[in-house]
Structure 1
Amino acid sequence: MRIRQLQYFLVVAEEQSFTRAAARVHIRQSPLSRAIKELEDELGVQLFVRDKGRIRLTWPGEVFRDDARRLLSFLNSVRARTKAAKYGFRGHLRIALTDGLAQPRMTELLAKCREEEPLTDVRVFEMTVGEMVQALKFDQIDAGFTVHAGYQIEILIKDQVWTDRLVFAVPTRHPLLARDKLSLEEAVQHPLIICHPERCEGGYDVIHRLFRNEGLEPVVAQYVSGHELMMMFVAAGYGIGLALESQVALYCHPSVIIRSIQKEIAEAPTFLIRSNRTASPELERFLLRAKKIGGTTK
């Protein structure tokens, strides 16, 4: 079994077409089909059902897809760690960022890591919450940040590292700017721009819980995958944004005014999620630094 066979298999599984997969990996269709057939012969199973030009994974193919992803991720990690060792790094951390998080605290945390532990190679990956959970299950990352409070999975450990305030982002010349603070009841009378339920699942969870607890149903003008895009739509007058204060501060816009929420609302926590396997010393120190920066530990 060769690495290239696994790579070809995953592309075909994703494209569900030998023609599209061949174009994507820049080879002719016949050697691609032959590589998949050789892989099936070696495994002794049929990986794909071929029917009238369409293909789909068999059940053994779905099982093999998950393991193939895990194997290739492990090999990529081996390569990265070996190259890092070449440049003198002694430790290695793979950290996921979800929900479009780019908070100033994150910058401070990564800077502290470089300052206090320069021989630990810290690699950061952007993912959705669902991708992060799968990556933790398959040991593709060591930990990940999210504001999603709903994940309670037995194999995962969730530590709160800091909290943030929710605020409104309002376009200039909007009638609600007559108030210095806005109520949720007022806000739902206007179109809202909020996080996408899949691409920014944690942010959506925070906002959905907020309105659900108040018995309110917002009118959504636009779903967005991040705070920068949200500020663009707000500035263009498409609606009111609702987001984390630290995030909208990063993308300040002259046509957008920030307003606090009138009612005392619990702050949104940010969590560091990791598997329940024994953490490496590097990860333990990383978690401790995050809590110190967030003020959740001494």
Structure 2
Amino acid sequence: MRIRHLKYFLVIAEELNFTHASERVHIEPSSLAHAIHDLEAQLNVKLLNKRKGNIQLTWPGEVMLEEARRMLSFFEDAQSRVHAASNGLFGRIRIGLADGLTQPRLTKLLAKSREEDPTIEIRITEMTTTEMWSALRHNQIDIGITVDGEFKQGFIAQNVWNDSPAVAIPTNHPLLTASKVYLLEAMKYPMIMCHPEKCAGGYKVVSRWFSSRALSLPEAAEYVSGHEQMLMLVAAGYGIGMGLASQLSLYTYPGVIVRPMEDDVPESSICFVRTELEPECAIERFMHRAEVINNLK
């Protein structure tokens, strides 16, 4: 099985169109189709269903898509480690960043780590919460960073930082008359929320805020995959948006004002998650730095 064939299959599985896929990999559609046929012959399974110009993955094709992503990730990881070693780096930390988190304290942590551990390569990959758990399980990352409060057996979660709840509000909105926003008032208005799959941690955070007050989660006016998209829709007048104060403060949109929420709404924990295996020294130092930065806030 060739790496090139895996890459071709991944592109056709994403595009479901030979013309578009061939443009991405810079070969003729006929050559791409021949490569996929060779892959199917090697595996002795049918990966694609082609009917009247439409392409769909078969069930073996769905499985192959997941495995192809995993194998290519391992291959790219191997390339990265070899290049890093040739450049004088003697260790690595692979981080999976879930829930669209761009925590300001994470920026400080990365800068401090580069200063104190210059021979350690730190790689960051954005992913969904589901992808993070899978990556940890398959040893594709060393640490997952998430606000997802539901943890799984076989993993260790360390609460590193806390973040306050906040609301993004368009200008000239009735909620701006108060210095803090109450949940009962906020739920009267259309709400833009994190997507339950694409931003699962953020969705669960907001769900916990409402459940802590014995309130039902409002129906979303729109779903988004992160805070930046949320603020864009708030600015456009689609509704108000709830999220973490540190995240909402990172982006500036004309016509959007961020207000804190009432004191009774609980803070959310940002957690570093890893497997139960004994961590390498570089990872322990990284985790310790995160705690130090939190204490300096």
**TM class by smaller structure:** 0.7 to 0.9
Residue 70 in structure 1 maps to residue 63 in structure 2: no
Q: 1:280, CA displacement in angstroms?
A: 2.3
- Cα deviations by residue, 1:43-71 (Å, 9 ceiling, x for unpaired): 3x214254534554455444444333222
Q: TM-score, normalised by structure 2?
A: 0.88
2:206 aligns to what?
207
Q: 1:254 to 1:19 in 2, by over 3 A?
A: closer
1:276 aligns to what?
276
2:245 aligns to what?
245
Number of residue equivalences: 294
Three-state SS of the structure 1 residue aligned to 2:209 is helix
Q: 1:203 to 1:42 in 2, by over 3 A?
A: same
More displaced stretch, 1-10 vs 221-230:
221-230
Q: 1:10, CA displacement in angstroms?
A: 2.3
Structure 1 contact 98–132 (Cα < 8 Å) conserved: yes
Structure 1 contact 185–216 (Cα < 8 Å) conserved: no
What is the identity percentage for the equivalent residue pairs of Structure 1 and Structure 2? 48
Structure 1 contact 188–219 (Cα < 8 Å) conserved: no
2:86 aligns to what?
86
Q: 1:80, CA displacement in angstroms?
A: 0.8
2:121 aligns to what?
121
1:185 aligns to what?
184
- Cα deviations by residue, 1:247-298 (Å, 9 ceiling, x for unpaired): 12222445333322224122100111223344222222212222232349xx
Three-state SS of the structure 2 residue aligned to 1:190 is coil
1:174 aligns to what?
173
1:105 aligns to what?
105
Q: 1:144 to 1:35 in 2, by over 3 A?
A: same
CA distance in 2, matches of 1:224, 1:175: 23
CA RMSD of aligned residues (A): 2.4
Residue 160 in structure 1 maps to residue 159 in structure 2: yes
- Cα deviations by residue, 1:26-57 (Å, 9 ceiling, x for unpaired): 222332233233333333x2142545345544
Q: Which runs of 5+ in 1 are unaligned?
A: none
CA distance in 2, matches of 1:36, 1:52: 16
Q: Which runs of 5+ in 2 are unaligned?
A: none
Q: TM-score, normalised by structure 1?
A: 0.88
Q: 1:65 to 1:175 in 2, by over 3 A?
A: closer
More displaced stretch, 186-195 vs 59-68:
59-68
Structure 2 contact 170–234 (Cα < 8 Å) conserved: yes
1:195 aligns to what?
194
Three-state SS of the structure 1 residue aligned to 2:42 is helix
